[in-house]
Amino acid sequence: MKTWTVLDIIDWSKEHLAEKGFENARLETELLLSHALSLSRIELYLEFERQLKQQELATYKALLKRRLAGEPVQYVTGTAAFMFSEFEVNPAVLIPRPETEALMEVALRIIGEMAAAPGVACEGADAGKIEPAEDELVLADVGTGSGVIATTLAQKVAGAKVIATDPSVEALAVAARNAEHAGVADKIRFLEGPLLTPLQAEGLEGRITAIVSNPPYVPSGEIAGLPSDVRDFEPRGALDGGPDGLDVIRGIAQDGPTFLVPGGALVLEVGEGQAEAVGELLAQGLGRVEIHRDYAGRDRIVTARNDIEGASRRHDG
């Protein structure tokens, strides 16, 4: 019987995955093996010559089989990275992506601007926590999914209260566990219900400083053409934005301003090619509409403020 070392498994698996068309074969191999052995990726490198026990090998093979069947590696391992932290994910929630990290950076910058006051330190997303002024900040994550937005807001904005909504009980359970693991469960209220309905039930009209959302925005007719690991495994309800992809966003654009304080902000992640149309929707009820680019230079984030007098619109690179 062949004896496999950590390096043997990595070399064989990355070649096998590459032959099957997996683009990130080396990375995915290391993620799967790290999970199977309960080691960090750095620890893997320190134990290249370690010989795997039969049970460890069996555990790894079971994980690899799931990935070869098309299941996203994040669902196989049960974790996904987001803004330098690890979050639990499963098929009840979308897997967080870099576009949403860009969304968070924009949101934190805007919230920092609103929180600034004489004598109050205001730090950006990379510097640490934002210290709010005396008036309490109430932030909302609409369609929270795994809770990465709500949890990051709670971590980065000191003293803020965060409301996270989702129509899926299963998703809210994942989000609550992520908040607990991050140590911010006491700062977040998780409310079941579609879109802004839970905010209305809580009487939050005119009380929210910022609404941040990564809503469903994939046009229904494009779902079938998505990569199979997205189409076949991620929750359709978190992807499908209706015929033109904007059904959910229309609802947020129409009702969102009702919940914002004067000068409050709406921050949305949108699909590629949708930013201009979303900007026009937001301009009907809000001002200072801006379009921001993601890390790949694509227009993927649209922001607006509850300030009609400042309705000039600019493109922010």
Output the pLDDT for position 118. Answer: 35
Residue 314 pLDDT: 46
pLDDT at res. 309: 55
* pLDDT at residue 180, rounded to an integer: 98
pLDDT above 60 (res 105): yes
- Is the model more confident about 311 or about 260? 260
Q: What is the pLDDT of residues 122-177, one digit of tens each?
A: 334 444 555 544 457 999 999 999 999 999 999 999 989 999 999 999 999 999 99
What's this model's pTM, rounded to 2 decimal places? 0.89
The residue among 176, 171, 177, 174 whose CA lies nearest residue 162 is 176
Amino acid symbol at 183: G
- Closest to 124 measured CA to CA, from 141, 137, 110: 110
Residue showing tokens 């070649």:
15
Q: What is the pLDDT of residue 133?
A: 46
Q: What is the pLDDT of residues 226-264, one digit of tens each?
A: 999 999 999 999 999 999 999 999 999 999 999 999 999
In the chain, % of residues over pLDDT 90: 87
Provide the angle, in degrees to the nearest 10, between the axes of the packed helices 54-68 and 25-37: 140
What is the distance between the alpha carbons of residues 310 and 303, in angstroms, rounded to a whole number? Answer: 13
CB atoms within 10 A of CB 259: 24
pLDDT at 173: 98
Q: Percentage of the chain surpassing pLDDT 70?
A: 91
Residue 275 CA to residue 304 CA, distance in Å, equals 12
Average pLDDT over residues 36-58: 95
Rounded Cα distance between 116 and 136, Å, is 12
* d(C-alpha 54, C-alpha 24), whole Å: 26
Q: What is the pLDDT of residue 124?
A: 42
Q: How confident is the model at residue 119 (pLDDT cuts 50, 70, 90)?
A: very low
Is the CB of residue 215 less than 8 Å from the CB of residue 142?
yes
